[in-house]
Chains A and B, each alone.
Chain A
């Protein structure tokens, strides 16, 4: 690169990357963030001070060697930068997109308060994409076969992390997926405009090249039980996720047009219903859509609905913007795309027509009261504030709990009252010998990064158990 800034240049304005124009992107499912070109990446990398204390790396759930890879980006050796990330994290193209860096590495960056942090997440994404598109990624070498067999249940981020780590150590790994596409929530939940399908498929293909076996269409706990699986595998890692939708328990929830966010997102993302009738799975949203919830899933649902071209999408959240659990960036994206936000509002009843189709939503205004168990101020319904919103469809995105099927069909596997599998925190061991668990099936709905971190930790324990090392 010509006129390359001489490192470090912290005072150059932080580059947040290019984005598709909101007016344009609200009509397509292409990726919203366009990221960096090489020059932008090098210029942003030049801002890094290369702190010896590495606060960013320590704040990273999977301890990506951030100052080192950023320096390699600055040196324009992108293949080496990718390899550096691979030393601790095999999925930079995913993490660079869906990790909330603003709460981890970028929050820890010493430049944060004065100039804005280095855009570490965008640099990670750039590194992974550039390396992938230019054939600079070579699967990491695997140790000689140990003869031990490990089964991973589910193919979401936590299982992918376990599979990658254990395969590198020479164990034979089989990943079981209940659906027809691998990736778990990365495929059925997160929309393509945040995480393109090709990225997930590439990561799976890399693991396949390393020798990980992937089996689709097998639902562990139903198709074959954990006990049966135990006869054929030395170790089982359960990463079945938090796929059980939480209902609102509001009258009218069975009306046609009322979806769980899981169903709505699965239809639109996994089944590609947005291409109907070119693809075969239909959706029904009508002209007016309401989404209920304040997390990332609610944002994803609202933004997917907007892209299907209704007259309007309204999001109801019972607290204020300050209490929203969604990433700030996603809330801003949603607002830019024209989603209407009704804060301090909750649905109390859903009303339909004689055919059983949703027609309107009865809502109530809330006010914030005393802090509740979560530390957030509890929303209190305001008497006499009821009003109606017309709606043809409504997406319930108020959370999900651990998938219960394996817990129900595995005698002796202990679960907590929320349905999460109980593990020994340091080792990921469940109540059954040789069976480990991690990710959302333990934590409830958490993040992709914590799921990957659980997977890495479990892999270390599993390896120790198998080999004594």
Chain B
């Protein structure tokens, strides 16, 4: 079916919704312009409703035929909790994009994908694109525990090998993604490039693990973002000693050049506000249930 990408009819409606874990949901959203233009590494900015926050999320999948895009959202704060409470048939008030600079897909040889938590979902389309470009893909997937491990099957479908690590050992090997990386290096595996998406602290140590081997390593940075269009500079990160805007220059940057410590400090800017908003939402939510 040919979709009019300039039509506003039915925009941002949730076509399918699936709970992947108690806190992680997959949303398939009608947004034909985004579906037609998306490339691996692009992100969108979601808003649940009027007055809602702008939440950036990397695209997991897109289907120009259906006019849909897929995102996977982890409920962390108020806005993401509210989004995951949506049911199929409801609509986001806004989905902006595609935004950012797509990942440059080329033939490296062997590409290692390192995903942590919900970052695995965002790693998937990138790993898939490298596979389609003729690379051999190896994946290292990390999660806190088995029930938080997502997209293992999909990643296995495009990877020659998948190594799983969990904090508690409930799936794969007990340990960190960097342990699995060290095992690969120790086994003499030749890795030509690494792409990593996950918590900042994880990406920092992925970069430290690959640095002695001088493997080109790229991390998808997730600073606090506001407009996502290069206007505010709130998402500025330091790469190679220079300020870069994650929203338009990234989000994928050379991990060995990235100042992760600065990123860690800047992502903590609104922690108190975030806790306040979530507590207020939870209280409100309980009260409403109490009235029924």
Contacts and interface: CB of A to CB of B under 8 A. Distances in A.
Interface of A: 174, 178-180, 188, 213, 215-219, 222-224, 228, 232, 243-245, 247, 254, 256-257, 259-260, 262-263, 266-267, 271-272, 275-282, 284, 355-356, 403-405
A355 B248 CA distance: 27
A4 B38 CA distance: 65
B8 A244 contact: no
B236 interface: yes
Contacts of A281: 53-54, 226
Given A218-B96, A245-B233, A280-B52, A355 B268 contact: yes
B6 A174 contact: yes
Contacts of B238: 254
Given A180-B93, A180-B96, A222-B99, 7 more contacts: A178-B96, A179-B96, A180-B54, A263-B233, A277-B280, A284-B269, A356-B262
B266 A223 contact: no
Nearest to B274: A282
A280 B93 CA distance: 14
B33 interface: yes
7 contacts: A217-B97, A222-B97, A259-B234, A262-B233, A280-B53, A281-B53, A281-B54
Chain A interface SS verdict (over half): loop
A259 B232 CA distance: 8
A243 B232 CA distance: 8
A282 B34 CA distance: 28
B33 A224 contact: yes
B231 A244 contact: yes
Contacts of A266: 226-227, 231-232
Nearest to A249: B243
Nearest to A404: B230
Q: Which 7 A-B pairs have the closest CB atoms?
A: A356-B265, A282-B273, A263-B232, A217-B96, A280-B53, A243-B231, A180-B94
A216 B94 contact: yes
Contact of A254 (B6, B236, B248): B236
Nearest to A263: B232
Contacts of B265: 256, 355-356
Contact of A179 (B78, B227, B234, B270): B227
B234 to A, nearest CB: 5
Interface in B204-255: 226-227, 229-234, 236, 238, 243, 248
Nearest to A219: B229
A20 B278 CA distance: 36
A244 B236 CA distance: 12
A225 to B, nearest CB: 9
A277 B52 CA distance: 10
Given A215-B6, A215-B8, A279-B51, A247 B233 contact: yes
A254 to B, nearest CB: 6
A148 to B, nearest CB: 16
Give the one of B94, B100, B226, B236 with max A CB within 10 A: B226
Contacts of B243: 247, 254
B79 interface: yes
Chain B interface SS verdict (over half): mixed
B79 A223 contact: no
Given A254-B236, A256-B265, A262-B232, A223 B78 contact: no
Interface in B93-116: 93-100
Nearest to B263: A254
B76 interface: no
A256 B95 CA distance: 28
B280 A263 contact: no
A178 B229 contact: yes
B47 interface: yes
Contacts of A213: 6
Contacts of A355: 265, 268
B23 to A, nearest CB: 18
B273 A276 contact: yes
Interface in B273-291: 273-274, 276-277, 280
B252 to A, nearest CB: 14
Given A232-B6, A284-B269, A218 B78 contact: no
A232 B276 CA distance: 47
A394 B93 CA distance: 32
B161 interface: no
A188 B268 CA distance: 24
Contacts of B95: 217
B37 interface: yes
Nearest to B48: A280
Nearest to B78: A280
A230 to B, nearest CB: 14
Contacts of A218: 33, 96
Contacts of A222: 97-100, 229, 248
A282 B229 contact: no
A279 B51 CA distance: 5
Contacts of A174: 6
Contact of B266 (A180, A256, A271, A276): A256
A254 B266 contact: yes
A267 B78 CA distance: 17
A58 to B, nearest CB: 36
A195 to B, nearest CB: 18
A356 B266 contact: yes
Contact of B277 (A247, A267, A280, A404): A280
B231 A276 contact: no
B231 A403 contact: yes
A254 B262 contact: yes
Nearest to B95: A217
Interface in B111-149: none
Contacts of A224: 5, 33, 37
